[in-house]
Amino acid sequence: MKKSRTVLLAMAFGLTACTCLAQSSPEQKSVTFHDDGTMTFHYKNPTAKNVQVDVQFAGRNPMTKGADGVWTATLGPAAPDMYPYCFIVDGVSVMDPLCPQYFPNEGFKNSLLEIPARKGSLAHDIKNVPHGLVEYIHYYSKSLKGTNNAIVYLPPSYNEKGNEKKSYPVFYLISGTTDTEEVYYKVGRMNYILDNLLAEGKAKEMIIVLPYGNPTKLLPTPPQGSMMGMGMDVFGNDLINDLMPYVESHYRTINDRDHRAIGGFSRGGNQGLSCGLTHLDKFSYLCSYSSFTSTSLPNVYDNAEDTNSKIHLFWLGVGTDDFLYGTARDYMEFLDKKGIRSVKEYTHDKFGHTWMNAKYFLDKTLRLLFNPEASEAAMKNGQPALAATGKEEAFTPAVMARLFPRAVVSPEFKAGDITFRINAPDAQEVLLESEILAKPVPMQKDAEGVWMIKIPENAGETFKYCFVVDGTQVADPSNMYLSPDKGFKYSICNNPAAPYSFSAMGDIKHGKVSYNLNLNVAKYFPPVDNDSPLPLIRLIPGVNDTMESWFKVGGADAMADKLLAEGRTKPCIMITDSIAEGDFSNAKVKVYTLKASDYKTWAERRKALENLLLKLK
């Protein structure tokens, strides 16, 4: 396996990097940048009556419709960075169908605008430096009694020849409320930030693990317990008892408290501090970005000398314009009064509780992690908390309810059928469009403005769908699973009753999927340790697919994992690519090719892959 893996990695790094700006071809642009620093947003929808663009640096702004049906608005200038944005079409939020980058989230669906720096560079820029590998993993969690997922970043040297015995420290980095485990990758750009710092010699090599902060959402019947990170709750039990043992048994890690760090943004900061402070036998580097945690953790705050002796770095950052600033500041002051040392960092110009701040704080702390001398210098220079002004916004249940209103449940699986819902009170007509339906079908609106439809379970199939609201396609705002399509991105109905659903697999071994958004290649490696060459399956994406589609929609990794666990197939490597056929003519392994374009639906593609995997036996 290791030899085959090295060959494929070398092959992948020979490909051409792609552009990651919010802009497509010259004929179709989502955003045009101007010399004065402003930018014009473009959205084509001839039938819409009213369109606004909602972007983080400017809020909602009206757009003007042209004779060609393209709506435009010119905004800015704005500081170079990455900003979530969407279009509000007749009252409904819509992602930009021309933008390849999007914000992974359990709820809202936003595209990502990347404004490049005119001079110099940004911490998260994709530079011509050695890049680490990003792997998506699945593992069985005994705490959850189900399968959970995470993302693992490996530094550039991890797979280099001669480093087979080298081990690395680990940083567990958690995203915020409603975020998925992908956010610190696709929005926070943790991999590129660390790649750049390593290339400049400004950070220590490390593995970064991105857990999913709300794992009970993956399970049909959530277990009892808090998800907010107060002590050993559901999330904490899974992290300490399941994810950490998985990481330490599957990667070359240094397994002591001096070589483990934990932290996160927003709720993830709360969870990170809670887990870290209650397990100082396991962690000595703690980071909180725009967050705080409980002031009543046992055996932590009332023995400052002991606590301080166990912490190399206690780093706290928050924006003074953040809605959590008041509570975060109070927590900083609480630590000062208890005699707990910490480093405090404040921002004033990054739009408060945003991922601009999250990236900034991450860049600051990566420079200190696993560097005792630099961390100690920072701790010695730590300043007291800023004085309270009395004008800080209090973080109350009312604020929480305003920020995270009661969610509409969609899709909902019950007794052999699936219910889809969308809140669109002003819409005149809403249809459900899906690849399993011959044509879009009308939905019914209730008294609260929520449109609903119930359809048969369709034998547990996984499929793509969307809503059509007054003629406009809309991804399901309540569904965290988005199909990584080119153009409009459909939602994915991940039915837990599907034959190859991760949630129903039980305690089996899982392979890894490596995504390289730069090189446009995804690779699956089976859960075996085998140096002999393995058969290779090329999964060619369809016209509107990306290199992620065969795994995130097609479930290729889930299928291979289950069939291998059942002894119905042999281990193999799968790669999704668009490489010319001749490039594999000298391969020393058996190569199979499966083209998505040969099949009309994902159900047909999955069946073809299943048949191929079974033939390997």
Per-residue confidence band for 211, with pLDDT thresholds at 50, 70 and 90: very high
Q: Letter for the amino acid at 47?
A: T
Per-residue confidence band for 6, with pLDDT thresholds at 50, 70 and 90: very low
Q: Are 197 and 203 in contact (CB under 8 A)?
A: yes
Per-residue confidence band for 252, with pLDDT thresholds at 50, 70 and 90: very high
Percentage of residues in the chain having pLDDT higher than 90: 78
Are 444 and 541 within one domain?
no
CB atoms within 10 A of CB 466: 23
Report the pLDDT averaged over residues 168-176.
97
Measured CA to CA, the distance from residue 583 to residue 254 in angstroms comes to: 39
Measured CA to CA, the distance from residue 377 to residue 82 in angstroms comes to: 31
Which tens digits make up the pLDDT trace of 173-210? 999 999 999 999 999 999 999 999 999 999 999 999 99
Instruction: Calculate the CA dihedral of residues 44, 48, 54, 60 and round it to 10 degrees.
Output: 130
What distances in angstroms separate CA 430 from CA 404, 424, 477, one per listed residue? 24, 8, 14
Question: In DSSP terms, which residues pair with 306 in a beta bridge?
Answer: none
Q: Where are the alpha helices (DSSP H) in 251-371?
A: 267-277, 304-310, 325-338, 355-366
Measured CA to CA, the distance from residue 382 to residue 299 in angstroms comes to: 23
Which tens digits make up the pLDDT trace of 296-337? 998 899 999 999 999 999 999 999 999 999 999 999 999 999
Are 427 and 351 within one domain?
no
Domain with residue 182: its CATH number is 3.40.50.1820
Which stretches does DSSP call E strand in 311-449?
313-319, 343-347, 412-414, 417-423, 430-434, 441-442, 444-445
Q: Are 421 and 450 in contact (CB under 8 A)?
A: yes
Smallest CA-to-CA distance from 347 within 379, 322, 383 is with 322
Are 107 and 171 within one domain?
no
Is residue 9 scored above 60 in pLDDT?
Answer: no
Residue 285: φ, ψ to 5°: -125, 120
Domain end, chosen from 460, 493, 526, is at 493
Are 341 and 274 within one domain?
yes
Smallest CA-to-CA distance from 288 within 266, 316, 314 is with 316
Number of domains in the chain: 4
CB atoms within 10 A of CB 570: 16
What are 448's two structure tokens?
A: 């609260």
Are 247 and 174 within one domain?
yes
Is residue 355 scored above 50 in pLDDT?
Answer: yes
Mean pLDDT score of the chain, rounded to an integer? 90
Domain membership of residue 595 (yes or no) is yes
Are 480 and 539 within one domain?
no
Q: Are 273 and 293 in contact (CB under 8 A)?
A: yes
What are 293's two structure tokens?
A: 């945690």
pTM, rounded to two decimals: 0.93
Are 446 and 527 within one domain?
no
Report the pLDDT averaged over residues 452-468.
89
Domain membership of residue 54 (yes or no) is yes
Q: Letter for the amino acid at 446?
A: D
Q: Letter for the amino acid at 31?
A: V
Are 60 and 208 within one domain?
no
Are 158 and 218 within one domain?
yes
Domain membership of residue 247 (yes or no) is yes
Domain membership of residue 481 (yes or no) is yes
Domain membership of residue 217 (yes or no) is yes
Are 214 and 276 within one domain?
yes
- What domain range is 468 assigned to? 412-493
Q: Which of 135-139, 172-176, 348-352, 381-385 has the lowest mean pLDDT?
A: 348-352
Domain membership of residue 120 (yes or no) is no
Domain membership of residue 396 (yes or no) is no
Domain with residue 467: its CATH number is 2.60.40.10
Are 102 and 143 within one domain?
no
Are 521 and 424 within one domain?
no
Measured CA to CA, the distance from residue 48 to residue 429 in angstroms comes to: 13
Residue 509 burial (10 A CB sphere; 0-12, 13-18, 19+): middle
Per-residue confidence band for 221, with pLDDT thresholds at 50, 70 and 90: low
Instruction: Return the pLDDT at 169.
Output: 98
Measured CA to CA, the distance from residue 143 to residue 136 in angstroms comes to: 20
Domain membership of residue 293 (yes or no) is yes
